[in-house]
């Protein structure tokens, strides 16, 4: 379970003070499939990174499975991300000099897993996203949709229970985007992973069990649309 | 896959640029290796010359009744015992003694003239006195053969092959010593034992010229050992131009090492610059690594490992360049051919170690900066 309590994240730009998040509170249950929507600049990415332990809030706290993640040391928080969180980005963020398989191996490598296990598990993850046959390809030899699948595989290979996706379909055409969305849906259905994704697309938001709408750093709508 | 594999894969895709950025370092290492190589080869070279540069220790009887100047020393009537010379092989630095040339001085009647006579071992003497130019065959020990100085040759109207009477014995002139501008030009040289017989001084010698070579021990020490070992003699060290030359080589080496350290500072600045820009270019990648759970230790690991690789490659390339350039420049500048054996064994591993350490030091600050990167803004930057 993820509990966000009164989180404010403010930036000072010269004279001006911007609150990317303004007193936000939110609870995400284990196994939730949640969409975050809202106009550009409303704080969606900020919310996602704050949940993922990547962005220390100005006020408030974030509690994941009972531990206050911003009370941890930065080393412990890195470990928390390694073991519990998978990030998926709009721009994929694969390392261009590594093959698909090697990209998926990175989180396992960071966790110090044995080389043979790394390869075995990374290949399993690639098969899960339907890319078993493309394991030895470099990112520039893969289509956008395939690259995003590799990124999804990288996000789930460490058996993270939380998958955070920041506009995962933003750089993909409609059809490929839909494929990625149904892949995420499948992972949630089959493995019960908690998935939170940011989207601009109303049809993508419809797939979610819960939709959170943001404006100006505040959560303005909370819709529960399961069944 | 390990962190190191990752670094190697990353470096291998920008080999060219990395090497380009390491040029300062490579040059510094090259200068260091070349300096070590050239100066050590010059030292060996000078060492070889020392051996033939002339005597650097003169052994004379302790009690002198000064009568004849000979070279640097005054030679008297008193003598020392030839059989005492075996003690020379028992001194501590015996292996540093390369050449021993015992001599007996006297006067003899040659064709009715009273002339200076020197009994010697011609081979050793010629070896020590590199400036001697001899025509003909050197006199052989125990034979009635003579070598004559140039002045006396022409004064007596002799030539090689002539027969000459010395103290009533017949000698064949086998060799002529070309003009030296010293007493030698007026001297008759006979084999040592023949001269002893002729002068009625069997087993006696006037002085011994010794060529000793030692780069770590001063000749003074060897001279002292000789004085202690043989009764009633004094061994005197003779200062050599060679020592001055060794000093000059050392000074030149110090200067070029100083030059190398200046280049090294520039090289380090280059590496620092490379690392800073590497960190900057890879902000996004670092952000991704952080989001995947990399901690500061990991960031240090990958950048410092990259520094080690840069240092190793720079060290190896620099050493190769240093060896190559000293082999090309040695013969041109110093007219000494430089061979692989001239490279001091320690210099290459030492230079590579210096290179690695320099890269590590130059990378500390850029790496620290990398750990301070905010992953979120790194990932947001387009
Ligand atoms: N590092 C930053 N410095 C200053 N302002 C920032 C920074 N990051 C985000 N912001 C501001 O915070 C607000 C929310 O940003 P973000 O969470 O990226 O919005 P969204 O993802 O909904 O488009 C925006 O106004 C943005 O300009
Ligand atoms: Mg955003």
Q: How far apart are alpha carbons B224 and B234 in whole angstroms?
A: 8
Domain that holds residue A29: 2-224
Give the angle subtended at the CA of B29 by the CAs of B23 and B31, to the nearest 5°: 100
B170 & B229 share domain: yes
pLDDT per residue over B98-139, tens digit each? 889 999 998 888 888 888 899 999 998 888 887 788 999 999
Spatial separation of the C-alpha atoms in residues B327 and B30, rounded to whole Å: 12
Find the mean pLDDT for residues B340-355: 87
Interface test with A, best of B4, B8, B13, B291 (most A CBs within 10 A): B291
What is the H or E stretch that residue B323 is in?
helix B296-329
pTM > 0.90: no
Q: Determine the Cα–Cα distance for residues A20 and A222; give it in Å rounded to an integer.
A: 19
- Across the interface, of B1, B289, B375, the residue whose CB is closest to A105 is B1
Mean pLDDT of the region B175-190: 90
Tell me what pLDDT residue B382 has: 65
Pocket of ligand 1 (CB under 6 A): A 11, 13, 18, 20, 38, 40-46; B 377
Partners of A46 on chain B (C-beta within 8 Å) are 376
Q: Which of A56, A50, A51 has its CA nearest to residue A71?
A: A56
B380 in contact with chain A, both atoms CB, cutoff 8 A: yes
Residue A78, pLDDT > 70, answer yes
Orientation of helix A100-110 relative to helix B3-12, angle to 10°: 140
Please count the other Cβ atoms lying within 10 Å of the Cβ belonging to residue A124. Answer: 14
Q: Are residues B232 and B281 in the same domain?
A: no
Q: Are residues B38 and B174 in the same domain?
A: no
For residues B375 and B278, membership in a common domain is answered with yes
**Helix or strand (DSSP H, E) at A62:** strand A59-64
B182 and B313 belong to one structural domain = no
Give the ligand whose atoms come closest to the C-alpha of residue A166: 2
Is the predicted pLDDT of residue B71 greater than 60, yes or no? no
Instruction: Report the alpha-carbon distance of residue A165 to residue A187 in Å, rounded.
Output: 13
Instruction: Please give the Cα distance from B306 to B295 (Å, whole number).
Output: 17
Q: What does the pLDDT look like over B239-290, one tens digit per residue?
A: 655 566 667 777 777 887 888 888 888 888 888 888 888 898 899 999 999 9
Choose from B1, B8, B9, B379 for mutation: most chain A CBs within 10 A.
Answer: B1
B359 lies in which domain range?
3-48+245-380
Q: Smallest CA–CA separation between B306 and chain A, in Å?
A: 15
Would you give the DSSP letter of residue B52? Answer: T
Q: Does B174 lie in the same domain as B109?
A: yes
Cα–Cα dist A37/A195, whole Å: 14
State which of B237, B265, B294 marks the end of a domain.
B237
Q: Based on the domain organization, do B41 and B82 belong to the same domain?
A: no
Task: Please tell me the distance between residue A62's alpha carbon and the centre of ligand 2 in angstroms.
Answer: 20
* Rounded distance from Cα A91 to ligand 2 centre (Å): 11
Mean pLDDT across the stretch A118-127?
97
Given CB atoms, is B381 within the 8 Å cutoff of chain A?
no
**Is B9 in Cβ contact with A78 (below 8 Å)?**
no
Query: How confident is the model at residue B66, as a pLDDT?
Result: 52
pLDDT of residue B193: 94
Rounded Cα distance, B71 and B187, in Å: 13
B8-55 confidence digits (pLDDT tens):
988 888 888 888 888 888 998 998 888 888 877 777 766 565 555 556
Same domain, B255 and B231: no
Q: Cα of B292 to ligand 1 centre, how many Å?
A: 21
For residue A46, give the ligand 1 atom closest to its CA: 17
Domain boundary among B209, B237, B265: B237
Cα torsion B310, B313, B319, B324: sign: negative
Who contacts B130 (Cβ-Cβ below 8 Å, separation ≥6)?
Answer: B52, B53, B54
């Amino acid at each position: 379970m993820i509990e966000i309590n009164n989180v404010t994240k403010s930036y000072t730009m010269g004279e001006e003070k911007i609150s990317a998040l303004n007193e936000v509170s939110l609870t995400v249950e284990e196994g939730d499939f949640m969409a975050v929507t809202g106009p550009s600049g409303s704080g969606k990415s900020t919310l996602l990174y704050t949940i993922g332990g990547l962005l220390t809030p100005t006020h408030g706290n974030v509690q994941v499975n009972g531990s206050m993640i911003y009370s941890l040391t930065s080393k412990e928080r890195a470990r928390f991300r390694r073991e519990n969180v998978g990030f998926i980005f709009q721009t994929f963020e694969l390392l261009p000099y590594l093959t698909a398989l090697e990209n998926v191996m990175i989180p396992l490598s960071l966790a110090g897993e044995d080389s043979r296990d790394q390869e075995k598990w990374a290949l399993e993850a690639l098969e899960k996203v339907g890319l078993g046959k493309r394991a030895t390809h470099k990112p520039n030899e893969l289509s956008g949709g395939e690259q995003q699948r590799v990124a999804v595989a990288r996000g789930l290979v460490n058996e993270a229970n939380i998958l955070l996706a920041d506009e995962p379909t933003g750089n993909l055409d409609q059809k490929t985007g839909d494929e990625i969305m149904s892949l995420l849906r499948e992972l949630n259905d089959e493995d019960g992973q908690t998935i939170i994704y940011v989207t601009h697309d109303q049809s993508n938001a419809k797939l979610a069990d819960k939709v959170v709408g943001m404006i100006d750093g505040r959560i303005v709508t909370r819709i529960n649309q399961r069944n | 896959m390990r962190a190191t594999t990752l670094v190697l894969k990353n470096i291998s895709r920008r080999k060219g640029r990395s090497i380009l950025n390491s040029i300062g370092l490579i040059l510094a290492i090259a200068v260091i290796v070349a300096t070590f190589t050239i100066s050590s080869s010059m030292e060996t070279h000078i060492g070889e010359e020392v051996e033939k540069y002339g005597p650097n220790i003169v052994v004379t009887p302790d009690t002198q009744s000064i009568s004849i100047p000979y070279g640097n020393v005054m030679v008297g009537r008193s003598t020392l015992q030839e059989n005492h010379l075996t003690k020379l092989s028992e001194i501590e630095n015996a292996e540093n003694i390369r050449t021993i040339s015992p001599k007996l001085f006297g006067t003899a009647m040659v064709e009715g003239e009273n002339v200076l006579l020197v009994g010697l071992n011609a081979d050793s003497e010629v070896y020590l006195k590199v400036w001697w130019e001899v025509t003909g065959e050197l006199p052989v020990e125990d034979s009635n053969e003579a070598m004559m100085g140039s002045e006396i040759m022409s004064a007596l109207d002799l030539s090689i092959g002539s027969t000459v009477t010395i103290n009533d014995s017949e000698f064949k002139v086998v060799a002529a010593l070309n003009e030296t501008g010293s007493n030698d030009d007026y001297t008759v040289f006979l084999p040592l034992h023949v001269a002893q017989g002729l002068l009625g001084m069997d087993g006696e010698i006037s002085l011994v010229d010794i060529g000793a070579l030692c780069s770590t021990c001063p000749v003074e020490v060897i001279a002292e050992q000789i004085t202690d070992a043989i009764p009633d003699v004094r061994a005197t060290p003779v200062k050599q131009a060679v020592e001055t030359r060794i000093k000059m080589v050392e000074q030149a080496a110090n200067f070029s090492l100083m030059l190398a350290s200046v280049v090294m500072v520039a090289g380090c600045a280059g590496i620092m610059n490379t690392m800073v820009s590497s960190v900057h270019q890879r902000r996004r990648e670092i952000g991704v690594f952080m989001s995947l759970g990399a901690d500061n230790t990991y960031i240090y690991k990958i950048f410092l490992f990259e520094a080690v690789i840069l240092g190793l490659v720079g060290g190896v390339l620099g050493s190769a360049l240093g060896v190559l350039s000293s082999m090309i420049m040695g013969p041109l500048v110093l007219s000494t051919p430089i061979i692989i054996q001239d490279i001091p064994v320690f210099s290459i591993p030492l230079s590579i170690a210096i290179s690695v350490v320099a890269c590590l030091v130059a990378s500390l600050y850029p790496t620290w900066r990398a750990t301070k990167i905010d992953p979120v803004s790194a990932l947001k930057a387009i």
